[in-house]
Amino acid sequence: MHRTLSTLPEIFPLSTPFRISRGTKTAAEVVTVQIEQDGSIGRGECVPYPRYGETVETTIGAIDAVRSAIERGAGREELLQLMPAGAARNAVDCALWDLEARLAGSDVATMLGLQRPLPEIATAMTVGLDTPEHMGAAAAALVDVPLLKVKVDRSDPAAQLRAVRAAAPRPRMIVDPNESWTIEEVSGLQQLLVELKVDLLEQPLPVGDDSALAGFVSAIPIAADESVHVTADLEALPDGYAVVNIKLDKTGGLTAALELAREARQRGLGVMTGCMICSSLSIAPALMIAVGSLFTDLDGPLWLSRDREGGVTSRNGWLSAPQPGFWGEARAAQ
């Protein structure tokens, strides 16, 4: 067996800025991995995330460190031992899944026992953090989608959420403070969240403070995002959480994400599938988790001014899988 691994940093500009409580993004900076073997090429993508101390440079360095092992034939299970969870392992793991399917003349969905073709999935459409007036205007353009995700901070979440709900009264709603609230705010906003028919509150407290959720009985489910990266993190998760948000850039690939989803369900936790701002090459493997999820938040590529050719498409908040052969399939794209 002879393999060749290559890495490529790529930048995908956004059509509009994406703002959350931690800052504003105007482009998706990704690292693309290609692994070639016997004339087939497997691809994977990751998004290095500064919140977790990752940069494009450190990510490429981490992949370079395992290059020789991968080129000698190391597989996905061995990769779990070679690299820690994170963006770098995600790109390599997803490239190995893609390569494996192509070499086998099969596809990843079939390998996992999933329905083929994959069904349309209702994805959250994000309303970025802004003034209540601007957030209301953004929501008005999404009035008919099935699910909204609303980014808020501490400045005036009540006004932000009221503006969004007034403009879009029908969609289900996820509220995401991105670790910016206190337990007092979580408690004090419970009535409003119920009044506005919010379906999920995502990671309201900073990771270091969410022990305050132990024993907390919320009126709506609370999801852990930054607090859960891999299966081992479930052990220390406060019982105030009811859902875990699985992102492949956190788990370090589809292999570890599948394990996390299985274990979360065994513990009675709901599963949500999320993403970073990315191209469709990150979304294609995440769809394997999204198919069985309570909530899906995979609108990352929809923020781009230009996605990869043949990627996912969206119709009013309903996400369709990429074209055949895009990722994880032996068939050539039409």
Q: Which of 224, 214, 229, 301 is nearest to 269 (CA)?
A: 224
Catalytic site residue from 25, 149, 247, 250: 247
Q: In what order do the strands lie in the sheet with 318-320?
A: 121-122, 318-320, 313-315
Q: Which of 331, 333, 326, 334 is nearest to 43 (CA)?
A: 326
> 151 an active-site residue?
yes
> 250 an active-site residue?
no
Catalytic site residue from 149, 151, 197, 250: 151
Running DSSP on this structure, what letter comes out for residue 56? H
DSSP for 127-142, please give it.
E-S--HHHHHHHHHTT
Q: Which of 177, 137, 142 is nearest to 158 (CA)?
A: 177
- In the structure encoding, which two tokens stand for residue 160, read together? 């932000």
> Are 118 and 298 in contact, with CB atoms under 8 Å apart?
no
CA 129 to chain centre: 18
Cα–Cα distance measured from residue 205 to residue 177, given in angstroms and rounded to the nearest whole number: 8
Q: In what order do the strands lie in the sheet with 125-127?
A: 125-127, 147-151, 172-176, 200-202, 222-224, 243-246, 270-273, 295-296
Q: Which amino acids are annotated catalytic?
A: 151, 247
